[in-house]
Amino acid sequence: MFNRQKYLYIFWLIILVSTISAQSTEYFYHKNPGNSTEGDAVELSIMLLKDQPVSQGSIFFRPIGELSYQEIHLRQDGLSWYGEIPKEQVLSPGIEYVIIMDMPYGAKLSAPLNNDPFDAPLTISVRKKITQKEFGQINKISKSKVISDVLVLSPEAGSFIRPEDVVIAVSTFNSPNIDSTKYTVLIDGKDFSDFAILEQNILSVTPNDLDIGLHTVQLNFITTYGIEIEPIIWSFTITKSMVNVVEQLLYKGNINSLASNNSASGSSINEAEINGKLSAELSWIKGRVNFRKTSRESEFLQPLNRTTTSLFITDYLKIEYGDVYPSISPYIIDGKRIRGQLIDIHLPFFRLQTISGKLNETVQYQDYTNGGYTLLGDATVTDSTNFTKYYMSRTGYTFPREVNVIKLSFSMFNKIKAGLHVMKAKDDKNKVSKSISDKIEFSVDSLGYGIEAGDYTFNSFNSAVLAQGDTIIFPDHNWSGNSPEDNLVFGFDFESAMDNRKLLFQMGWNMSFYNTDIWNDEMTLAEMDTTLDDSLDGFIGKIYNDDGSIGESSFSPIDTLTLPSPSNYKDIFTINTNMIPLSPIDIRAMEENIMAAYVNMPSSAFFFRLKGHYSFNNLLVEYRQVGPQYKSLGNPYLTTNIREFNLNNRISVLERKLSVVFGYQYKDNNISYTTVEPLRTTKYSMNFTLVPGPGAPSIVVNIQSSKKNNDIDSLTVDTAGDYLSDPREKTQALNTLLSVNLPASFGKNFNNISISLNSIKYSDLLLSERRPDYFFSKTNSTTLSANISSRFSIPLKTNLSFNQTNLEIPYRDSSDVIMIKEMQWRSVGIGGQYGIFENRLQIRCGADVLSSEGSEGNINLYGGTLGLNWSIINNLSLNFSSNIRLNHSQFLKTDGLDNNSDGNIDEFGESFSVNTSGAIFTLGYKF
């Protein structure tokens, strides 16, 4: 039953198709070709079914959309008549045509067969020319071959690759009409088609048995219309190693010279600089040199010049010399410059990193008065015989800081990683001279000891002192400038990957020893004894009662005779009374809780981190603590005295278009046993980020609530119990953000519009308990900003920005009444870049205005920029940029003062002043 129905359907379908595509009447049979291709001639025919007395026949045709028809005469061949529409007239989207056969006595026979065939002509749909549209840049080579827009993805034509990197891949994405079932892949003429995969416009082959040398790939395709495509042919070379040293040497680089002038608040800086880089590669070895030389380099500053030479030998060895920027750990050194050398041996299961050099270079003195010597006036003494001792010291110096870092890491199958690291940094106090250039002066005040006040060099002062029969005391160390320091930091990292690396556990622990003053070298055991427990009894930790009897202690006293002398370790760390910590463990904390005392060692820093990537969740659980006495000179700005707990989960949904982040953070500074008023911060946050995809608007919503509590629950009062102040802090800050980024394309013009609204509101959670005169000093703010950046089809780029910030600043007025001052900052900026001479000369300019409305009046800052980038010849370019910023304070013109010190009061222009200005020229060459 089902089969019969199916066959009936097929039968009627055939009938229908025949009816549509053919004009079959009792007089003639004509088959409409249906469709054709732009640029291909169309042959039409009509066969008379009866012997009709036809005198001639014509085709009247016109491209669709045209008004008039063109005529072509048919030629007769038996009962059939033929005609060809010329290829020039076969245009997309199609052709309308009518065939007219002339009969005797003015009779006509037409296809289509009706009274007025020109009202309903037959049509042929014409595809766009394959060679231009459907296959991109296609030109017809011959009648049977076209060139297609097939992208060679790998390997690049003419490239040199290693045997293991041979992947032949092409994309037919831009040639959708390629027949994915009929193709051949030939490599050096050998057919690899059976090893190729062509799926969804990607053809990929990975041949494994190609020899070293030149190889040629040929791909043969046909279109779905059966048209053969011009073969895609390209060559590449497989090399194993240094087949030919000269051929494999690749290099590139650039060199730039720069001259600039910048002024700010009347101070001007001129600078000339030359910088460049050169990188070269020879198969398995790569080298790179970067340098910068500046006219600002000075013996009185830390080096501003930079030179780095890097050598990479395969992926396993890296050697850098010069200015290196190692990143070992945030707790040790993390990108701080070291002038020295870095060696990084990186093997699959083992890694060794060593860095040695200087964090600081020697600076002997500063080139200004009191920049090298200083007279310690307060220390000057005169004895009863009127003999005066003048005490002098050195200033303005910086000790060279030697640093050595080593990190040893192991990894096992990408599952476990562990590393140990040590950093030693120490100032070399012997490299700064006591005696410096005699041109350096120091000031002498009126001491009343006979020496005239004024500026002296050391020799002139010494002569004056000796002339009076007095003396100068100038010690060899303990100068009044910076003290030499010593630092030892060590620690370890550990990582364990579980569940196929979806779950990562990471931890690290570090300990620091920091000596703030090593002028006096290491201490003796006796000094250690008195330093740690106040009594010189040969024991550390032995406590005595007032009557001299031995008191109780939580741990056994240590006999100093059993301890090694600190001098044994002087090369590792200088142990003396200036070291931090004096004792790694807080002894008072040990009496409370031994475990807590070890965990909270004031000079330790550690973290635990758990990261999970499951389903749509990215989970982070982290605890980190940095003790109040932790110090690494390799990362001196690390925030200390902090412990925090973070819980974060980022959920990605809607095919990662929407991510929602829930966050919790707790932070305090309650590490030390002695902290009395810890500040606790608790933060809850939620973030929604919608990024649907390229070209679509993205939206960010962020809400964050942050509470601070300093654990103080009472007011400060004087001895009489009268109120002095309210030090309690229990506040909440609510930070909300809405940001929309809207890309918009209009034809070939692309615009990006971003709008954001940010609000920070503070509230006092103890408001109901406060006295009426309590001053809550937090400032609320609301910021609205918008930016429109546009790129046009002509080489023009523009940027328009607007920003408005409203502030609510609490203050006390002259009557001590608490008021709110509302301020508004508003800025508008516009900038653009236009390219001329085929974009070889790009001109940039911009202007902006920042206005501030306050109670004292308006202050406006006007800014302007102008620049150009000129590609002079192929690799030589000149860049110029300049800027100026003017300050306009309206009230300066009405304040009755001579603000610009020109003798006139409140004249025109007094309210204007140049705030900053600058100009930079750069000439660069690439090779």
Partner 1 sequence: MMSHKMKSIIFVIVLVISSSLFGAKIAVATKVNGTVELQKVGERDFGKLKPGTILDDGDRIRTGSMAFAAIIFIDDKSTLKLKENSEIVVTGKRSAASIAKKIDIDEGTLRAIVTDQRKGEFIIQTPTSVASVKGTDFWLIVNESEGDQVLGLEGIVNLLNIETGLNLDVTEGNTGTSTPDGQVNIDETNTSNIPIDPEDDESEESQIRIYFEGPNGEQKSLLINYR
Site for partner 1 in 133-172 (CB under 8 A): 151, 153-156, 158-161, 164-169, 171
Q: Is 565 in the site for partner 1 (CB under 8 A)?
A: no
Helix or strand run (H / E) with residue 462: helix 458-467
Stretch that binds partner 1, among 72-80, 456-464, 616-624, 817-825 (CB under 8 A): 616-624
What Rg, from alpha-carbon coordinates, does the chain have? 43
Q: Is 350 in the site for partner 1 (CB under 8 A)?
A: no
Alpha-carbon distances of 515 from 404, 484, 488, rounded to whole Å? 16, 9, 9
Task: Tell me how far, at minimum, the Cβ of 402 lies from partner 1, in Å.
Answer: 21
Angle at the Cα of 205 from the Cα atoms of 203 and 211, rounded to 5 degrees: 145
Taking the CA of residue 629 as centre, how many other CA atoms within 13 Å lie in the half-sphere pointing to its CB? 24
Task: Tally the residues of the chain.
Answer: 927
Q: Is 741 in the site for partner 1 (CB under 8 A)?
A: yes
Task: Tell me how far, at minimum, the Cβ of 33 lies from partner 1, in Å.
Answer: 26
Interatomic CA distance for residues 890 and 912, integer angstroms? 8
Indicate the residue among 10 and 250 with the shorter CB distance to partner 1. Answer: 250
Q: Is 234 in the site for partner 1 (CB under 8 A)?
A: no
Q: Which of residues 399-418 bind partner 1 (CB under 8 A)?
A: 411, 414, 417
**CB-based contacts of 277: which residues, under 8 Å, 6+ apart?**
253, 254, 288, 289, 290, 291
Site string for partner 1, 450-489 (x = CB under 8 A): ----------------------------------------
Interatomic CA distance for residues 513 and 491, integer angstroms? 12
Torsion of Cα atoms, 254 then 257 then 263 then 268, to 10°: 140
Cis preceding-peptide flag for 326 (omega within 30 of 0): no
Task: Tell me how far, at minimum, the Cβ of 258 lies from partner 1, in Å.
Answer: 11
Binding residue for partner 1 (CB under 8 A) from 53, 564, 693, 772?
Answer: 693
Stretch that binds partner 1, among 183-191, 475-483, 696-704, 804-812 (CB under 8 A): 696-704
Q: List the one residue out of 322, 403, 389 whose CA is nearest residue 360.
A: 403
Indicate the residue among 160 and 666 with the shorter CB distance to partner 1. Answer: 160
Indicate the residue among 585 and 734 with the shorter CB distance to partner 1. Answer: 734
Site string for partner 1, 415-444 (x = CB under 8 A): --x---------------------------
Indicate the residue among 171 and 443 with the shorter CB distance to partner 1. Answer: 171
Task: Tell me how far, at minimum, the Cβ of 837 lies from partner 1, in Å.
Answer: 20
Indicate the residue among 111 and 217 with the shorter CB distance to partner 1. Answer: 217
Indicate the residue among 354 and 756 with the shorter CB distance to partner 1. Answer: 756
Cα 681 off chain centre by = 29
Q: What is the DSSP string of 362-416?
A: -B---SSTTSSEEE-GGG-EE-TTS-EEEEEEE-S-B--EEEEEEEEEEEETTTE
Stretch that binds partner 1, among 64-72, 551-559, 719-727, 736-744 (CB under 8 A): 736-744
Indicate the residue among 83 and 330 with the shorter CB distance to partner 1. Answer: 330
Indicate the residue among 457 and 801 with the shorter CB distance to partner 1. Answer: 801
Q: Which of residues 621-650 bind partner 1 (CB under 8 A)?
A: 622, 650
Q: Which of residues 297-326 bind partner 1 (CB under 8 A)?
A: 308, 310, 312, 315, 320, 323-325
Q: 699 by DSSP, 3-state: which?
A: strand
Binding residue for partner 1 (CB under 8 A) from 45, 698, 782, 900?
Answer: 698
Cis preceding-peptide flag for 636 (omega within 30 of 0): no
Task: Tell me how far, at minimum, the Cβ of 754 lies from partner 1, in Å.
Answer: 6
Q: Is the dihedral of CA 850, 854, 856, 858 positive or negative?
A: positive
Interatomic CA distance for residues 55 and 107, integer angstroms? 10
Stretch that binds partner 1, among 221-229, 485-493, 656-664, 896-904 (CB under 8 A): 656-664
Task: Tell me how far, at minimum, the Cβ of 121 lies from partner 1, in Å.
Answer: 31
| 489 within 8 A of 423, measured Cβ to Cβ | yes
Task: Tell me how far, at minimum, the Cβ of 322 lies from partner 1, in Å.
Answer: 9
Interatomic CA distance for residues 290 and 276, integer angstroms? 6
First-to-last CA distance in the chain?
79
| 802 within 8 A of 756, measured Cβ to Cβ | no
Cα 150 off chain centre by = 35
Binding residue for partner 1 (CB under 8 A) from 87, 293, 346, 770?
Answer: 346
**DSSP-assigned beta bridge partners for residue 419:** 409, 493
Binding residue for partner 1 (CB under 8 A) from 343, 408, 679, 700?
Answer: 700
Q: Is 548 in the site for partner 1 (CB under 8 A)?
A: no
Q: Which of residues 813-832 bind partner 1 (CB under 8 A)?
A: none
Helix or strand run (H / E) with residue 885: strand 876-889
Q: What is the DSSP string of 588-644?
A: HHHHH-HHHHHHT-TTEEEEEEEEEEETTEEEEEEEEEE-TT---TTSTT---SEEE
Binding residue for partner 1 (CB under 8 A) from 7, 11, 173, 544?
Answer: 173
| Pair of tokens at residue 737 | 């953000």
Q: What is the DSSP string of 130-159?
A: TTTTTTSS--EEETTEE----EEEESPTT-
| 804 within 8 A of 824, measured Cβ to Cβ | yes
Stretch that binds partner 1, among 105-113, 183-191, 596-604, 733-741 (CB under 8 A): 733-741
Q: 844 by DSSP, 3-state: which?
A: strand
Task: Tell me how far, at minimum, the Cβ of 39 lies from partner 1, in Å.
Answer: 22
Stretch that binds partner 1, among 8-16, 102-110, 115-123, 655-663 (CB under 8 A): 655-663
Stretch that binds partner 1, among 516-524, 589-597, 692-700, 724-732 (CB under 8 A): 692-700
Interatomic CA distance for residues 50 and 893, integer angstroms? 107
Q: Is 498 in the site for partner 1 (CB under 8 A)?
A: no
Q: Which of residues 248-307 bind partner 1 (CB under 8 A)?
A: 249-252, 277, 279, 281, 286, 290
Count of residues touching partner 1 (by CB under 8 A): 89
Q: Is 205 in the site for partner 1 (CB under 8 A)?
A: yes
Helix or strand run (H / E) with residue 669: none
DSSP designation for 479: -
| 604 within 8 A of 509, measured Cβ to Cβ | yes
Binding residue for partner 1 (CB under 8 A) from 20, 67, 246, 724?
Answer: 246
Stretch that binds partner 1, among 112-120, 204-212, 353-361, 385-393 (CB under 8 A): 204-212
Task: Tell me how far, at minimum, the Cβ of 316 lies from partner 1, in Å.
Answer: 8
Binding residue for partner 1 (CB under 8 A) from 197, 233, 594, 836?
Answer: 197
Interatomic CA distance for residues 374 and 395, integer angstroms? 7
Indicate the residue among 155 and 372 with the shorter CB distance to partner 1. Answer: 155
**DSSP-assigned beta bridge partners for residue 752:** 743, 789
| Pair of tokens at residue 24 | 């079959």
Binding residue for partner 1 (CB under 8 A) from 6, 133, 501, 588?
Answer: 501
Site string for partner 1, 772-791 (x = CB under 8 A): ---------------x-x--
Task: Tell me how far, at minimum, the Cβ of 162 lies from partner 1, in Å.
Answer: 10
Question: Could you identify the residue written with the tokens 């150009």?
Answer: 868
Binding residue for partner 1 (CB under 8 A) from 113, 274, 621, 691?
Answer: 691
Cα 382 off chain centre by = 63
Task: Tell me how far, at minimum, the Cβ of 348 lies from partner 1, in Å.
Answer: 7
Binding residue for partner 1 (CB under 8 A) from 302, 652, 675, 824?
Answer: 652
| 677 within 8 A of 710, measured Cβ to Cβ | yes
Backbone angles phi, psi at 17, to 5 degrees: -60, -40
Task: Tell me how far, at minimum, the Cβ of 842 lies from partner 1, in Å.
Answer: 12
